[in-house]
Amino acid sequence: MKQVRVVNRTRAACLAERANLADSFWTRFIGLMGKPPLPPGGGLVLRPGGAVHNFFVRQAIDVLHLEPGGRVTHVVESLRPWRVGPLFVGGAATVELPPGTARASGTRPGDVVAIEPLA
């Protein structure tokens, strides 16, 4: 799976040094199901964005919903296992991060997040 870097440009904070990019129906559907917990600096970028669930996921996650251009529209902190996050239609991307990442970086709606290819 392709890997990317996720950076909050507004706060000059790296949210994920190495995040997997899920950009097909199947990779978005599988997401983090059955995978080990995200390590610090890890993440998953779902493109396009939308609703997320935490079924069969082993840890809580922070979820960022991005509109085209990378502006954060919603932040869901510590979505626990076996929960469904809110649905946001028309999102460009959804970023799933280890719990506490959004709070530690100060990420909030209105911030601009960039998804960068790894060299």
List of domains in the chain:
3-117 (2.60.120.1140)
pTM for the whole structure? 0.95
pLDDT greater than 80 at residue 54: yes
The residue-averaged pLDDT of 56-71 equals: 95
pLDDT in tens, 72-112: 999 999 999 999 988 888 899 999 999 999 999 999 999 99
- Distance (Å, rounded) from C-alpha 40 to C-alpha 88? 26
The confidence score (pLDDT) of residue 60 equals 96
The confidence score (pLDDT) of residue 62 equals 98
Contact 113, 62 (CB under 8 A): no
- Distance (Å, rounded) from C-alpha 110 to C-alpha 38? 25
Contact 82, 30 (CB under 8 A): no
The confidence score (pLDDT) of residue 89 equals 81
pLDDT greater than 90 at residue 51: no
